[in-house]
Structure 1
């Protein structure tokens, strides 16, 4: 199979699994990418999959309107391949002849030679006519769209629009290994333009994302990929030098690595409830050169009797599991998989984590509650409820650079300042 055709076959298989069989985009790509030895092909596969999912709310209505009869329930692979073709022509702006030829050949490689002509005809029509404009809010399930519109009535259209677009590539420079300006110079030597942000001491932003293989020194841990909003968690927590720190929900390890890059003297325990995620945590810490400075354990933060040594922590980072509604542009399959009844379970889990980890914090210590959600139930309302039931907790105000005032915390919405949606609340325990 020609490499270009194989990329389209894999893209169709990934999209079919995600759109029609409820699979995770991350897990499907993790299985598919190693099948492509060329990093350029791997980058193209990722680009097609993400662009197809982001643009699905525009592509599917057009395709259904152009087809003489509605596709049957067994036509998932065909629709997935067509989504991949539309993404190549529209969002990625690939040369039409290459995109068309390889996608039509992919239909044959997928065992659908009888539909190769249909794929060719529909994609040529897409090339000629393009896709009519559509409201990006239509990509969101109605229950979630309504909640966001109610929570952020003035900003909701911008939230939906930003979530339908790819974000910039944010880098976190490892200050323990190289100064930010020195790394920026290395990027310039590689032909990559990067911008700084005055709010983010370790960050560089590339408005035109590139594969990590193109980043000088990436494998050596000079730099990591981490959104600007996630980088601000280290600033919001701001542990004292040499503090004893708990990262209660650490996977994939970026925030723990950032804290240790800033202060190698921290005594940091990184927990995650899922042992399958720990190898990635350790890989990220190892690449940053800080693994030996951290303790990494598989444990449930809500059950400290099973893992806690009895010594309180000076600072706790609780980056809680959430709806991830602030990172849809980076995880577009969220809109396919999130269900309304997920929210109640998440809110309950967040409350349990807050109560359990608060008991481990020393008097005078700081807990940062953070999520990548933009829903008040998980953020401002969650923290307000915690403060109401916890007499020795008080909120410490964060400055405007962390986003909109939201109860006792701050909320950044997707796309604001080029960053993902994120919530922060800094809580201090009474002495």
Structure 2
């Protein structure tokens, strides 16, 4: 029987390469801490090295041009990844589990049990040589045209792209934000790049108990720095237009505790998670399930502050979500840009005079950020840029210097 960790990572790989879907945030929620750690390691390695793993396999197939079913690819990729890069996993476990996986009718291709066993047995005879051979293959094999587009969006000039790609190919370290006063867990220390940011020291234990007790939350450094905007005008009504999972909603509530806070989320499951997160943190907000554009178009009282963390390509999150490298060709970027422009116009209509609108995307692509901001200023003369960050009205950390996700933020005020 396939262990839960390997089964979960195989399911995730089938979602990405079989169905063209992103890996859900809750894909490993039912696993124990130990199983989740192994599953995350296997999945991350397979997604970040898929091109090289397939290049290693092809010449070892009887008919490389014909290829093999996805179930066989997944089983072999998982086995090779463990043999090459997870020295703590025993050779017997890595090989036998892969054979069991390919024998599973849902996740594998049973006729290839012998093929998977033969390839992995031979590879396992010298794990160091296997690792060296895989790492000797060109890193370009793991870079799709979409990855190249992301790198060009992040760094318009070629200098530094290789350095950035190398960083994006390593799993990111989590960032945290405290929610209650008191001592910090072992291994967390404050970081000056955002007012409440906490980073975890290398080798420190993950602060699971601290998080479960509601004394802190996970939140990327970029999101925290975005929310460190300066704004002195009175704020009595706030709209978080695309609120799940609730990290920025929480920051808004803590920043403006007396304001009425409204949070929108289109997907019912994400809205439920949003409500649960806010309740666990003691945040009082009116959560509504609905598409932000349609909800704002209904009209009503204006808001003094609107946060529009808009749907986007997610190109700035590929370090955390490496599957996006392989799914970029499925994105309808034009449709996303239309949605962003529509949401911006509707947010402007619901913004009070003298109010603040913050538009953000977790993307490096200029067409989702700078181009949208310029177009909004051109078509809406009542809107002006607002200087709310140290960098001015535009928040975009240097991709080579900044350890958080790729992010763009723009601040506007209404005459």
TM-score, normalization by structure 2 = 0.87
Say whether residues 1:142 and 2:140 are aligned partners. no
Say whether residues 1:252 and 2:245 are aligned partners. yes
| Partner residue, 2:227 | 234
| 1:215 positional shift | 2.2
Alpha-carbon separation, structure 1, partners of 2:129 and 2:385 = 57
Residues 48/256 of structure 1: CA separation in 2 closer, same or farther (3 Å cut): same
**Which segments of 5 or more consecutive residues in structure 1 lack a partner in the other structure?**
none
SS at match of 1:200: coil
Alpha-carbon separation, structure 2, partners of 1:238 and 1:349 = 27
CA RMSD of aligned residues (A): 2.8
| Partner residue, 1:121 | 122
SS at match of 1:119: helix
Residue 271 of structure 1 is aligned with which of 253, 258, 264? Answer: 264
| 1:348 positional shift | 0.9
Residues 334/238 of structure 1: CA separation in 2 closer, same or farther (3 Å cut): farther
TM-score, normalization by structure 1 = 0.84
| 1:261 positional shift | 3.1
Is contact 2:53–2:77 with CA below 8 Å preserved after alignment? yes
Residues 71/20 of structure 1: CA separation in 2 closer, same or farther (3 Å cut): farther
Residues 239/148 of structure 1: CA separation in 2 closer, same or farther (3 Å cut): farther
Alpha-carbon separation, structure 1, partners of 2:229 and 2:87 = 40
Is contact 2:71–2:102 with CA below 8 Å preserved after alignment? no
| 1:124 positional shift | 4.2
Alpha-carbon separation, structure 1, partners of 2:326 and 2:237 = 40
| Partner residue, 1:289 | 282
| Partner residue, 2:107 | none
| 1:228 positional shift | 0.5
| 1:72 positional shift | 4.5
Matches within 5 A, 1:7-406: 7-26=5-24, 30=27, 33-34=29-30, 36=31, 38-70=32-64, 72=66, 74-97=68-91, 99-107=93-101, 109-110=103-104, 111=110, 112-115=112-115, 116-124=117-125, 127-130=128-131, 131-133=134-136, 136=139, 138-142=141-145, 145-146=148-149, 148-149=151-152, 152-153=156-157, 154-174=159-179, 177-179=180-182, 182-183=183-184, 187-188=185-186, 193-208=187-202, 214-236=207-229, 238=231, 243-290=236-283, 293-304=284-295, 308=299, 310-339=300-329, 342-399=332-389
Residue 409 of structure 1 is aligned with which of 388, 391, 394? Answer: 394
Residues 137/223 of structure 1: CA separation in 2 closer, same or farther (3 Å cut): farther
| Partner residue, 2:410 | 425
Alpha-carbon separation, structure 2, partners of 1:60 and 1:118 = 13
The number of equivalent residue pairs is: 404
| 1:359 positional shift | 0.9
